[in-house]
């Protein structure tokens, strides 16, 4: 089997364990059990839990970028920005899992500077996509001339992140339609 494909399978198993059992109960042994293999197979591809978690975080970023690209293919103007930001919202099963893994990794990374630096790098990569979109919309006259892409990207991402966290914390979070409406209202305020 292709080693890269096997690494992805191990990472997917780690996701399932993290989502189902939480990060504190995610171990190399639990991941191996999820895969139906020995711990030695898992450690062949990842030396330790931190290396595996970093790979899983990269998969979060890659999946979000794929969702962002596919959701914005046909959209234009502010609809494109709304679609881009909605990629971060837990509006379906895949994105709910992404939020679980992202939050679990963030909690695990606190106090581990190398992991936190990687989390920041990954988040900034996604932030740059939003900044580029805001810049293009402002420069084309769709958004107000006083829009500051770096600042407003932070505001919009804070809104998306807050909605995502709300979906985990509250018994009655916003439903998917309400989540997207909230993002749309924020974007429309920039027109």
pLDDT of residue 165: 92
Convert the pLDDT of each residue in 149-174 to its tens digit.
Answer: 999 999 999 999 999 999 988 889 99
Give the residue from 88, 52, 47 showing the smallest Cα distance to 71: 88
CATH of domain 48-188: 1.10.357.10
Give the residue from 98, 103, 18, 20 showing the smallest Cα distance to 66: 98
SS3 at position 21 = helix
Euclidean distance between CA atoms 31 and 35, whole angstroms: 6
Average pLDDT, the chain: 91
Give the residue from 29, 72, 28 showing the smallest Cα distance to 49: 28
**Please, is 40 exposed, middle or buried when counting C-beta atoms within 10 Å of its C-beta (0-12, 13-18, 19+)?**
exposed
Query: Residue 190 gets which letter from DSSP?
Result: T
Any idea what the Cα angle at residue 146 is, between residues 61 and 181, rounded to 5°? 50
Supply 161's token pair: 């992140």
CATH of domain 1-47: 1.10.10
pLDDT of residue 114: 85
Euclidean distance between CA atoms 82 and 92, whole angstroms: 16
E-assigned strand segments in 2-156: none
Specify the pTM. 0.84
* Average pLDDT estimate for 140-146: 97
DSSP string over 122-150 = HHHHHHHHHHHHHHHHHHTTSS-TT--HH
Give the residue from 49, 114, 98, 88 showing the smallest Cα distance to 180: 88
- In the predicted model, is pLDDT for residue 1 greater than 80? no
* Average pLDDT estimate for 46-71: 86
Contacts with 184 (C-beta within 8 Å, 6 or more apart), sequence order? 78, 82
- CATH 1.10.10 residue ranges for the chain: 1-47
For the chain, give the percent of residues with pLDDT over 70: 99
pLDDT of residue 137: 97
Supply 83's token pair: 């679609």
Indicate the length of the chain as a whole number: 191
């Amino acid at each position: 089997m292709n080693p890269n494909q096997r690494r992805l399978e191990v990472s997917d198993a780690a996701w399932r364990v993290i989502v189902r059992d939480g990060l504190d109960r995610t171990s190399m042994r639990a991941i191996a059990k999820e895969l139906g293999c020995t711990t030695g197979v898992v450690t062949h591809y990842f030396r330790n839990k931190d290396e595996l978690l970093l790979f899983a975080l990269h998969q979060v970023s890659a999946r979000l970028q794929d969702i962002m690209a596919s959701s914005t293919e046909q959209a234009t103007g502010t609809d494109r920005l709304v679609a881009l930001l909605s990629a971060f919202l837990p509006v379906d099963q895949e994105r709910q899992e992404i939020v679980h893994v992202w939050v679990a990794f963030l909690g695990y990374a606190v106090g581990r500077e190398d992991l936190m630096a990687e989390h920041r790098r990954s988040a900034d990569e996604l932030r740059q996509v939003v900044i580029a979109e805001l810049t293009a919309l402002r420069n084309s006259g769709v958004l107000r001339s006083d829009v500051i892409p770096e600042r407003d990207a932070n505001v919009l991402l804070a809104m998306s992140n807050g909605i995502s966290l709300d979906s985990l914390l509250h018994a009655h979070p916003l439903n998917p339609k309400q989540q997207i409406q909230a993002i749309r209202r924020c974007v429309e305020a920039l027109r």
